[in-house]
Amino acid sequence: MKNIGFFLLVLVLIVQPVTAQVQQEDFKPEDMTTFIIQVPHGVEGNGLAVGNSTLSAYLFFESYYDGNMNVTVELNLPKGFVLRETPVHSFSLQTEYDDWYRLIDFYIPADTPCGVYNITAKAVVDVEGTKHTIVRTTQLKVASKEEVANEVSVSQLIVPSDEDGYGDPSHPSNTLVVQETSPALKKLLTVTDLKVEKDDLTSTYMGIELTNAGNSTIPVIVTYDILDAKTGEPVKAFKPEIMGMKADTVCYATVTLSPGSSSLISLPMYISPDAMGGDYLLRVKVKLTGSDWIAVTKEQKIAAISRRWGPIITTFTASLLGITALGFFLSRPREIMDRFKTRNLVLIALFGTVSFAAINLPMTILWELSHAIFGPFSFLFTGLFNEILLYMLIASLVVLIPKPGVISLFMMVRFLLGGFITGSFTPITFITLSVNAVLLELLLYTAGITGKNPAPDNRLRMGILCGFADMAGSYVSFSVWMVLYRLFYSDWYIAANILIDGFLYTFIGTWFGISLGNRLKKVAE
C-alpha cells in the first residue's frame, strides 16, 4: 500500500504542471481580453486636435479569463507631447469580466507641427507566470485652425425644437415664449402690489445641425449665448442659474462628428421670469475638445415674445358674451319663442337641420382630407361649406323671417344637432356660435335689416354686415383655439382666413342667399 500511495503522489506532481502548462497554452490574449485606446476620449478611430490643447487618452482593459492575471499598461506618446501623469499603470484582474480603465491627460504644445501622429498603448499580461504582450495603435491628426474651421460647420439652427432637435410646429420659429409681458405691466404690478404666479423657469430646446466635411473624426463641445441685440452683451435671464449651478454647466453638448457626416443635436434653453420680450441674437459656439479655441460660431436673430393678452381678453369677453346670451334666453324662453309663429319655428328648425346635414356632416370627413391635400390653404376649400353655403342659408332665412332672434335659434339648432349626433359639445363650439349669433343679431337689427320695418333685400348692405360679423367671429375663433389649446397661428394665416373666409366668402354667400330667400318667399306665397 505504501508503494501505491507513493506512486500516486509522484503521478500527481507530474500531471499538475503539465495541466497548468496546457491551460497557459490555451490562453489567447486577443480572444480572452479586450484592450482599447481612444485619443481623445470618445473617439473611435483617428482623432483630430489643434495645438495648445489638453486631451485625455482613454485606456480600457477587460478580462474574459476565469482566473487571476497581472497587467501592466504603458502609453507611448509622440515626441513633443507632454504627459500630465505617469504613463505606466499596473493592476490585477481577479476573474472573468473584471476590467480596468484610466484617463491619462497629455498636452499638445502650440508649436507642434501639423501632421498625423501615432499613439501606442502596450499591455503586458502575466498569466500564471507567462507573459503576453498586446499592442494597440491609434492616430491623432494635429491640424491647423484654418483647416478645422473649414471642415466643421453649423448647418442649421432650429429654435424652438423638441428634445430631439426637430422643429416644434406649435410655436413660431426663431422665438422664445417668456412668461411675463411688457415692462409697463411689470411696473404696474409692482405699484399695485399685485403678484402673478409664475414658474421659476420655463424651458425649451434648440436644434443644432453640425457637419463635418473632413476625413477625420472630430470631437467638439457645443454651447451658446443669447446676446442683447443692441449692446451685444449676454443676457443672464436666458441662461439663469439652475439649482445653484451656472447654466453653462448644463447648457452644452459633447459630440463626436464622424468624417463626412451631419449630426442633429439639441440643447436646453432656460428662461427666467425676469426675461423680457424683444429681439435678441443667438450665438452658437463650437469648440474642439481639449481647447478653448472656438472653431465655429453661427449667429441667428431670435425674438422673445410674451403671453399675448389680446387673445386672452378676447376669449374671456367672448365666453362672457356667450354665457350672458344663454342666460338671457333661459330666463325668458317663452317670451322669445312667442315672437315666432309655429311655421317660423318649423322653418328655422328645417334650415338648421339642412345646414347640419349639408355642412357639419360632410365637413367631419372633408376637414381632415382637405388639410392633408391643401395644407395651410385648406381654408380656401372648407370655406365653400363653412362660409358660402352657411351664409346662403342664413341670408335666405333672414329674408323669409326678418325678425330678431331668428339667427340665434338657427345657431342653437346647429349646436344641438352637432352635439347630440357628432358629440361636438365643446366650449369652442359654444363660444364661436354664440358670438356669431350675437354679432349678427346686433348688426342686422341696428342696420334695420331685421326689426319692425325689415329691409333684408339690400345685398350689398347685408353682405357687408355679415362679412364684418364673420370677420370678428373668425378672430374670436382663432383666439379661443390659441388660448384653450395653446396653438400658434402665423399672422398671415389669420389675416388670410379673416379676409377671404371671413369676409369674401361670407359676402358671396350672403349675396346668393338673398336671391335664394326671395325665390323661396315667392314659392311660399
Type of residue numbered 222: V
**Grid coordinates standing for 279?**
429681439
| Polymer length in residues for the chain | 525
Q: SS3 string of 392-436?
A: HHHHHHHHHCCCCCHHHHHHHHHHHHHHHHHCCCCHHHHHHHHHH
Which tens digits make up the pLDDT trace of 11-29? Answer: 544 544 444 444 455 678 8
Q: What is the CA radius of gyration of the chain?
A: 38
pLDDT at residue 15, as a whole number: 45
Whether omega for the bond prior to residue 40 falls within 30 degrees of 0, making it cis, is: yes
Residue 309 has pLDDT above 90, yes or no: no
Q: Which of 95, 111, 275, 250 is nearest to 183 (CA)?
A: 275
Q: Which DSSP helix (H) or strand (E) runs through 48? A: strand 47-49
Q: Report the C-alpha gap between 64 and 96 in whole angstroms.
A: 5
HSE at residue 62, side-chain half, CA atoms within 13 A, is: 7
Instruction: Identify the band that residue 437 occupies on the pLDDT scale cut at 50, 70 and 90.
Output: very high
Instruction: Identify the band that residue 439 occupies on the pLDDT scale cut at 50, 70 and 90.
Output: very high
What would you measure as the largest C-alpha separation in the chain, in angstroms?
Answer: 139
CB-CB contact of 411 with 349 (8 Å): no
Q: Which of 265, 142, 253 is nearest to 211 (CA)?
A: 265
Cross-strand partners of 388:
none
Lowest average pLDDT, out of 153-162, 381-390, 439-448, 483-492, goes to 483-492
Instruction: Over range 116-144, report the average pLDDT.
Output: 92
Instruction: Identify the band that residue 188 occupies on the pLDDT scale cut at 50, 70 and 90.
Output: low
pLDDT at residue 74, as a whole number: 95
Enter the pTM of the model: 0.59
HSE at residue 140, side-chain half, CA atoms within 13 A, is: 29
Residue 3 has pLDDT above 70, yes or no: no
Task: Sort strands 47-49 and 130-142 into parallel, antiparallel or unpaired.
Answer: parallel
Phi then psi dihedrals of residue 315, to 5 deg = -65, -45
pLDDT at residue 140, as a whole number: 92
Q: Please give the domain boundaries of the chain with CATH numbers for all domains.
A: 29-143 (2.60.40.10), 148-305 (2.60.40.3880), 309-524 (no CATH)
CB-CB contact of 39 with 138 (8 Å): yes
Task: Sort strands 218-228 and 202-212 into parallel, antiparallel or unpaired.
Answer: unpaired
pLDDT at residue 290, as a whole number: 87
Which tens digits make up the pLDDT trace of 73-108? Answer: 999 999 999 998 899 999 999 989 999 999 999 999
pLDDT at residue 307, as a whole number: 66
Which tens digits make up the pLDDT trace of 224-255? Answer: 999 998 888 888 888 777 766 676 777 889 99
Which tens digits make up the pLDDT trace of 397-412? Answer: 999 999 999 999 999 9
Type of residue numbered 10: V
Instruction: Over range 187-205, report the average pLDDT.
Output: 60
Q: Is the dihedral of CA 349, 350, 356, 357 positive or negative?
A: positive
Q: Report the C-alpha gap between 333 and 441 in whole angstroms.
A: 17
Return the residue matching grid coordinates 476565469: 66
Give the N- to C-terminal CA distance of the chain in Å, as an integer: 137
Q: Which of 481, 476, 465, 483 is nearest to 498 (CA)?
A: 476
More confident residue, 153 or 521: 153
Burial (Cβ within 10 Å: 0-12, 13-18, ≥19) of residue 338: exposed
Where is mean pLDDT largest: 203-207, 320-324, 480-484? 320-324
Return the residue matching grid coordinates 364684418: 468
What percent of the chain is helix, strand and coil (3-state, nearest 5)? 45, 30, 25
pLDDT at residue 180, as a whole number: 55
Q: Report the C-alpha gap between 302 and 229 in whole angstroms.
A: 9
Whether omega for the bond prior to residue 333 falls within 30 degrees of 0, making it cis, is: no
The mean of the pLDDT values for the chain is 85
pLDDT at residue 324, as a whole number: 92
Burial (Cβ within 10 Å: 0-12, 13-18, ≥19) of residue 484: middle
Neighbours of 22 (CB within 10 A): 9
Local structure of 143: helix, strand or coil: coil
Instruction: Identify the band that residue 287 occupies on the pLDDT scale cut at 50, 70 and 90.
Output: very high
Number of helices (H) and strands (E), helices first, in the chain? 15, 17
Residue 264 has pLDDT above 50, yes or no: yes
pLDDT at residue 88, as a whole number: 94
Type of residue numbered 110: A
Lowest average pLDDT, out of 42-56, 213-227, 232-246, 324-338, goes to 232-246
pLDDT at residue 444, as a whole number: 92
Q: Which of 55, 171, 157 is nearest to 104 (CA)?
A: 55
Residue 118 has pLDDT above 50, yes or no: yes
